Amino acid sequence: LYISLHKTEKSPSAEHLHCSLMSVRVSAMSVLPPVRRDRVIAQLPQYFRKEAAQHTKEDFNNKVKTACQEQRTGTVGFKISKVIVVGDLAVGKTCLINRFCKDAFDKNYKATIGVDFEMERFEVLGVPFSLQLWDTAGQERFKCIASTYYRGAQVVIIAFDVTDVASLGHVRQWLEDALKENDPTAVQLFLVGTKKDLSSPAQYSQIEQDAIKIAQEISAEYWAVSSLTGENVKEFFFRVASLAFETNVLAELEKSGSRQIGDVVSEYLNKPLCNHTI
């Protein structure tokens, strides 16, 4: 699913848009295609650098694995985890998302106006799970539009260009902007260096040290990728999906105990749409 959202005088409010998207999601739930074979996750994908990873465990939480085996994941299979990708203009946010979602790389770069998003469906430990990947504008003049859609994010990905030290220096400002609309304690953070293919080993080594230091300071997990070659792109998004999934399952277990999937389907579908945040 691909939808472009460009702000005009007649554009709907963010709240109205969220409710409309929920309506589409619920009505389409019974006709969604099966998860692609290359979106099945059976084991926890590993971190890129241990020293810059917030979760260093080798496997999923045992409570999560047991819940999945016993089909006690509640509403997780019907939820969509919102992921926002922020960062300076031309660091490669759109190319990163397109490489994963479409396995494509377009050299004819066009700046994002407002926001775009893609929906990706996974199967994690046998349970369906969806990521909504929001590609936000990096240009200053569109910041006020893009920030409207930051709200409700469970994952914040801050992208910078490994060949542009200045873009790394702006990471904290992007983080501050994203967290204005979200609970800092409820958001998972990732710091992603793009365009790794354009950096020499010596140049990359230096900026990686600086990036890892920043990642540690802001409690983010660090990755480096190349959208041109595809290096680490799939591994990164699988990691994002897996950690978001685990967080959702643990929250569901804490909130509702041991409800089985079949016990919550009717209740979930009958809830008022605007009570859901996506």
- Predicted local distance difference test score (pLDDT) of residue 149: 82
pLDDT tens per residue, range 137-181: 656 555 666 667 888 999 999 999 999 999 999 999 999 999 998
On the question of pLDDT at 264 being above 90, the answer is no
Mean pLDDT of the chain: 83
Check residues 134 and 275 and name the one with the higher pLDDT.
134
pLDDT band at 3 (very low <50, low <70, confident <90, very high): very low
Class of the CATH-defined domain 17-29+40-275: alpha beta
Q: What's the per-residue H, E or C state across the chain? A: CEEEECCCCCCCCHHHHHHHHHHHHHHHHHHCCCCCHHHEECCCCCCCCHHHCCCCCCCCCHHHHHHHHCCCCCCHHHCEEEEEEEECCCCCHHHHHHHHHHCCCCCCCCCCCCEEEEEEEEEECCEEEEEEEEEECCCHHHHHHHHCCCCCCCEEEEEEECCCHHHHHCHHHHHHHHHCCCCHHHCEEEEEEECHHHCCHHHHHHHHHHHHHHHHHHCCEEEECCCCCCCCHHHHHHHHHHHHHHHHHHHHHHHHCCCCHHHHHHHHHCCCHHHCCC
Summarize pLDDT for 18-68 with one digit per residue, the tens.
444 444 444 444 456 689 999 999 999 999 999 999 999 999 999 999 999
The model's pLDDT over 187-246, given as tens digits with 9 standing for 90+, comes to 999 999 999 999 999 999 999 999 999 999 999 999 999 999 999 999 999 999 999 999
pLDDT band at 276; cut points 50, 70, 90: very low
Q: Tell me the whole-structure pTM to 2 decimals.
A: 0.81
pLDDT for 15:
53
Q: Name the more confident of 108 and 138.
A: 108
